[in-house]
């Protein structure tokens, strides 16, 4: 009987390789399928959708698993769409257009100023004011070209419909989330230097959107605006830069008065939490609705986002009837059981990470955040990595005054996959998830 030991070994090696590669391919395809569903349905999902394939991770190799998951996320997104290549900013530029969900299409300029070379550039979402939208659109691009913040990239949208002249309605919320997702993947953009600015109606919009999406931002810069603070809770600007400039004589809709209220509030917050509420709120002397717009972005562009602060204080609040399902490293496992217009329609989170103790308090509150009480009717998750806790030791979780966990945590691939799809952010891909269930009455 002829027996070729070398041939047998080669056969066994090839068979094993095919088997492993086959499993790896199927496994990756399952992750990609989950990602595709989250991208397609993300606008309609108001809670975390679990990834069901549980696979543990060893502490020594979770970073390589993280790289693989992020690479799969990038592959799926690239297959679906990417941001366009920014043109060089000039007085006459071509435009792009996105189809929106539940709204008319949205044209936008997408251009760069200066050459970034090997460095990633900051990205400015710059919103125009109300008025004939074609004129406002071009004027805003012209102002942006003057701002001294180069090298930079600008995304300047045109309002889809003059009948719905608000930058915070749900159809455009979905567009901003799409922009954040794609910007975080773009090699030309610094994911920790994304800003929102705007003039007049764009100032109102940037202030609201800044509070709603603060965890994606390094800073915001509303100009000639001034939102009532209930519409853009100042507490949400902890850890990001806030610039607001309005004319002294800009009295329409109380813009100068509301800007003064913002200045007083931010001064108090910064005194209470030094270094956490960096702000410049300026009432430009002698100016009306037309002010000097050129000083905002040069101040903002100096700041860099902290994507994983260890002292969180923020509010889930409704915007056009919609609550976000995430903020920083917190994700809702089930929707908030409130609706816009309720006497108490927002949820406050206070989260602190001290050594290996996680302390969380949640409150339900009115729009002014003055009438509040502890609130346990929440199901949520806290995503973690070594920036928050030592994963080699026990982690203690105290929620609303009661200890609900004290043990060493297990790392798993599902947490990497879920956090990637939830946050779409290279800074927030986490190997551990702590789930907190509501204390039912």
Cα–Cα distance for residue pair 399/437, rounded to 1 Å: 10
Task: Tell me which DSSP letter residue 163 carries.
Answer: G
164 and 101 in one domain? Answer: yes
57 in a structural domain: no
pLDDT value for 11: 40
pLDDT value for 54: 80
Domain boundary among 266, 300, 334: 300
Cα–Cα distance for residue pair 109/351, rounded to 1 Å: 39
pLDDT at 209 over 50: yes
Nearest to 59 by CA among 409, 429, 421: 409
Q: Who wins on pLDDT, 61 or 43?
A: 43
329 and 296 in one domain? Answer: no
Q: Domain containing 198: what range?
A: 87-300
Cis peptide before 151 (omega within 30 of 0): yes
Domain count, the chain: 2
52 in a structural domain: no
**Residue range 412-437, pLDDT digits in tens:** 999 999 999 999 999 999 999 999 98
Beta strands 241-247 and 219-223, pairing class: parallel
190 and 91 in one domain? Answer: yes
224 and 150 in one domain? Answer: yes
Interacting residues of 111 by C-beta distance below 8 A, sequence separation 6+ = 86, 87, 88, 89, 90, 93, 141, 153, 154
Kindly report the average pLDDT of the chain as a whole number.
Answer: 93
Cα–Cα distance for residue pair 317/67, rounded to 1 Å: 33
319 and 283 in one domain? Answer: no
- Main-chain phi, psi angles of 426, to 5 degrees: -60, -20
Structure tokens at 441: 């009455």
Residue with tokens 């913002």: 262
338 and 191 in one domain? Answer: no
68 in a structural domain: no
pLDDT value for 8: 42
The structure's pTM equals 0.93
| SS3 category, 62 | helix
277 and 376 in one domain? Answer: no
Interacting residues of 150 by C-beta distance below 8 A, sequence separation 6+ = 113, 114
**Residue range 238-259, pLDDT digits in tens:** 999 999 999 999 999 999 999 9
54 in a structural domain: no
Cα–Cα distance for residue pair 59/37, rounded to 1 Å: 29
274 and 160 in one domain? Answer: yes
1 in a structural domain: no
Cα–Cα distance for residue pair 174/193, rounded to 1 Å: 20
Q: How far apart are the first and last CA of the chain?
A: 77
324 and 290 in one domain? Answer: no
**Residue range 391-414, pLDDT digits in tens:** 999 999 999 999 999 999 999 999
């Amino acid at each position: 009987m002829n027996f070729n030991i070398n041939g047998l070994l080669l056969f066994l090696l090839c068979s094993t390789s095919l088997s492993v590669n086959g499993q790896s391919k199927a496994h990756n395809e399952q992750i990609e399928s989950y990602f595709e569903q989250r991208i397609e349905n993300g606008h309609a999902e108001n809670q975390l959708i679990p990834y069901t394939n549980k696979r543990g991770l060893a502490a020594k190799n979770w970073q390589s698993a993280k790289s693989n998951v992020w690479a799969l996320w990038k592959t799926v997104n690239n297959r679906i769409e990417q941001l366009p290549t920014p043109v060089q900013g000039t007085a006459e530029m071509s435009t792009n257009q996105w189809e929106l969900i539940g709204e008319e299409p949205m044209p936008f300029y997408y251009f760069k100023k200066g050459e970034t070379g090997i460095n990633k550039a900051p990205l400015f979402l710059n919103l125009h004011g109300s008025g004939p939208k074609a004129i406002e659109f071009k004027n805003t691009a012209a102002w942006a070209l003057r701002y001294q913040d180069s090298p930079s990239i600008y995304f300047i949208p045109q309002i889809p419909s003059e009948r719905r002249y608000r930058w915070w309605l749900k159809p455009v919320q979905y567009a901003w989330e799409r922009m954040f997702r794609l910007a975080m993947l773009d090699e030309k953009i610094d994911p920790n230097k994304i800003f929102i600015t705007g003039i007049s109606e764009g100032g109102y919009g940037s202030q609201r959107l800044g509070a709603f999406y603060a965890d994606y931002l390094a800073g915001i810069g509303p100009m000639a605006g001034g939102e009532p603070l209930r519409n853009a809770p100042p507490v949400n600007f902890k850890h990001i830069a806030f610039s607001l400039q309005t004319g002294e004589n800009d009295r329409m809709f109380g813009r100068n008065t509301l800007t003064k209220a913002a200045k007083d509030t931010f001064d108090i917050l910064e005194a209470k939490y030094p270094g956490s509420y960096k702000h410049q709120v300026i009432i430009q002397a002698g100016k009306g609705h037309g002010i000097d717009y050129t000083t905002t972005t040069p101040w903002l562009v100096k700041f860099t986002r902290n994507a994983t602060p260890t002292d969180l204080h923020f509010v889930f609040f409704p915007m056009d009837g919609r609550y976000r399902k995430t903020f920083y490293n917190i994700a809702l496992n089930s929707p908030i059981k409130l609706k816009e217009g309720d006497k108490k329609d927002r949820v406050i989170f206070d989260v602190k990470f001290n050594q290996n103790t996680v302390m969380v308090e949640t409150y339900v509150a009115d729009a002014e955040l003055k009438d509040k009480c502890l609130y346990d009717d929440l199901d949520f998750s806290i995503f973690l990595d070594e920036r928050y806790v030592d994963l080699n030791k026990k982690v203690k979780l105290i929620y609303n005054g009661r200890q609900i966990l004290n043990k060493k945590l297990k790392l798993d691939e599902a947490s990497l996959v879920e956090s990637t799809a939830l946050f779409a952010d290279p800074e927030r891909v986490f190997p551990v998830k702590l789930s907190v269930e509501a204390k039912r009455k």
